[in-house]
Amino acid sequence: MAEINRDEVAHLARLAHIDMTDDELGRMAGELAVIVDSIRSISEVAGDDVPATSHPIPLSNVFRDDVVGQTLTNEEALLGAPDDADGRFRVPAILDGE
Amino acid sequence: MTDLIHLSADALAQKLASKEVSAVEVTRAHLDRIGAVDGAINAFLHVNTDEALLVAAGVDRARADDEALHPLAGVPIAVKDLIVTRGQPTTAGSRMLEGWQSPYDATVVRKLRAARMPILGKTNLDEFAMGSSTEHSAYGPTRNPWDLDRIPGGSGGGSAAAVAAFEAPLALGTDTGGSIRQPGAVTGTVGVKPTYGGVSRYGAIAMASSLDQIGPVSRTVLDSALLHEVIGGHDPQDSTSLTDPVGALVEAARRGEVEGMRIGVIRELQGEGYQAGVLARFHESLDLLRSAGAEIVEVSCPNFRYALGAYYLIMPSEASSNLAKYDGVRFGLRVVPDGAPTIERVMGATRAAGFGDEVKRRIILGTYALSAGYYDAYYGSAQQVRTLIQRDFAAAFEQADVLISPTAPTTAFRLGEKLGDPLAMYLNDVATIPANLAGVPGLSLPGGLADEDGLPVGVQLLAPARQDARLYRVGAVLEALLEETWGGPLLARAPHIEETTEVGSR
Tens place of pLDDT per residue across chain B (506 aa): 459 999 999 999 999 999 999 999 999 999 999 999 999 999 999 999 999 999 999 999 999 999 999 999 999 999 999 999 999 999 999 999 999 999 999 999 999 999 999 999 999 999 999 999 999 999 999 999 999 999 999 999 999 999 999 999 999 999 999 999 999 999 999 999 999 999 999 999 999 999 999 999 999 999 999 999 999 999 999 999 999 999 999 999 999 999 999 999 999 999 889 999 999 999 999 999 999 999 999 999 999 999 999 999 999 999 999 999 999 999 999 999 998 899 999 999 999 999 999 999 999 999 999 998 888 889 999 999 999 999 999 999 999 999 999 999 999 999 999 999 988 889 999 999 999 999 999 999 999 999 999 999 999 999 999 999 999 999 999 999 999 999 999 999 999 999 986 544 44
Alpha carbon distance B505, B36 (integer Å): 10
Say how many domains are in chain B: 1
Residue B312 inside a domain? The answer is no
Residue B501 inside a domain? The answer is no
- For B392, half-sphere exposure in the C-beta direction (CA atoms, 13 angstrom radius) is 26
Residue A75 inside a domain? The answer is no
Say how many domains are in chain A: 1
Residue A22 inside a domain? The answer is yes
Residue B35 inside a domain? The answer is yes
Residue A77 inside a domain? The answer is no
Alpha carbon distance B38, B260 (integer Å): 45
Q: Which helix or strand (DSSP H or E) is residue B34 part of?
A: helix B23-41
Residue B329 inside a domain? The answer is no
The enclosing domain of B223 has a CATH number of 3.90.1300.10
Alpha carbon distance B429, B434 (integer Å): 9
User: CA of A56 to nearest chain B CA: how many angstroms apart?
Assistant: 5
Which residues lie below 8 Å from residue B174, measured CB to CB, with a gap of 6+?
B80, B82, B83, B129, B155, B156, B180, B204, B212, B213, B214, B215
Distance in angstroms between the alpha carbons of the first and the last residue of chain B: 23
> Could you give the ipTM of this predicted complex?
0.94
B285 flagged as catalytic: no
Q: Do A94 and B346 touch (CB under 8 A)?
A: no
The nearest alpha carbon in chain B to A15 belongs to: B367
Q: Which of A53, A64, A76, A84 to mutate to test the interface with B (most CBs of B within 10 A)?
A: A53
Residue B500 inside a domain? The answer is no
B155 flagged as catalytic: yes
By the 8 A CB rule, do B389 and B255 touch?
no
Residue B443 inside a domain? The answer is yes
Q: pLDDT (tens digit, 9 = 90+) per residue, B451-486?
A: 999 999 999 999 999 999 999 999 999 999 999 999
Q: Do B242 and A57 touch (CB under 8 A)?
A: yes
Task: Provide the pLDDT for residue A64.
Answer: 84
Which residues lie below 8 Å from residue A71, measured CB to CB, with a gap of 6+?
none
Q: Is B449 helix (H, G, I), strand (E, B) or coil?
A: strand
Q: Do A91 and B329 touch (CB under 8 A)?
A: yes
Task: Provide the pLDDT for residue B504.
Answer: 47
Cis before B155? omega within 30: yes
Tell me the residue range of the domain where A3 lies: 1-45
Residue B378 inside a domain? The answer is no
Pick from B196, B355, B384: CB nearest A50? B384
Alpha carbon distance B268, A93 (integer Å): 55
The nearest alpha carbon in chain B to A24 belongs to: B357
User: CA of A35 to nearest chain B CA: how many angstroms apart?
Assistant: 6
DSSP string, B173-223: EE-SSSTTHHHHHHHT-EEEEPPTTSB--TTBPPSSTTT--EEEEESSHHH
Residue A90 inside a domain? The answer is no
B80 flagged as catalytic: yes
Q: Do B101 and A56 touch (CB under 8 A)?
A: no
Bridge-based pairing of strands B262-266 and B190-193 is unpaired
Q: In angstroms, what CA-CA distances link A5 with A11, A25, A27? A: 10, 9, 10
Q: Bridge-partner residues for B296, per DSSP? A: B263
The enclosing domain of A17 has a CATH number of 1.10.20.60
User: CA of B485 to nearest chain A CA: how many angstroms apart?
Assistant: 38
Residue B348 inside a domain? The answer is no
Please name which of B334, B315, B459 lies closest in space to residue B378, comparing C-alpha atoms. Answer: B315
Residue A2 inside a domain? The answer is yes
Residue A83 inside a domain? The answer is no
Angle at the Cα of B184 (from B178 to B190), degrees rounded to 5?
A: 115
Q: Does A13 touch chain B if contact means CB atoms closer than 8 Å?
A: yes
Q: pLDDT (tens digit, 9 = 90+) per residue, B293-344?
A: 999 999 999 999 999 999 999 999 999 999 999 999 999 999 999 988 999 9
Question: pTM to 2 decimals?
Answer: 0.97
Which residues lie below 8 Å from residue B339, measured CB to CB, with a gap of 6+?
none
The nearest alpha carbon in chain A to B439 belongs to: A56
> In B, which residues are within 8 Å of A9 by CB distance?
364
Task: Provide the pLDDT for residue A97.
Answer: 64
Residue A95 inside a domain? The answer is no
Tell me the residue range of the domain where B406 lies: 2-304+386-491
* Count of CB atoms situated within 10 Å of the CB of B398: 9
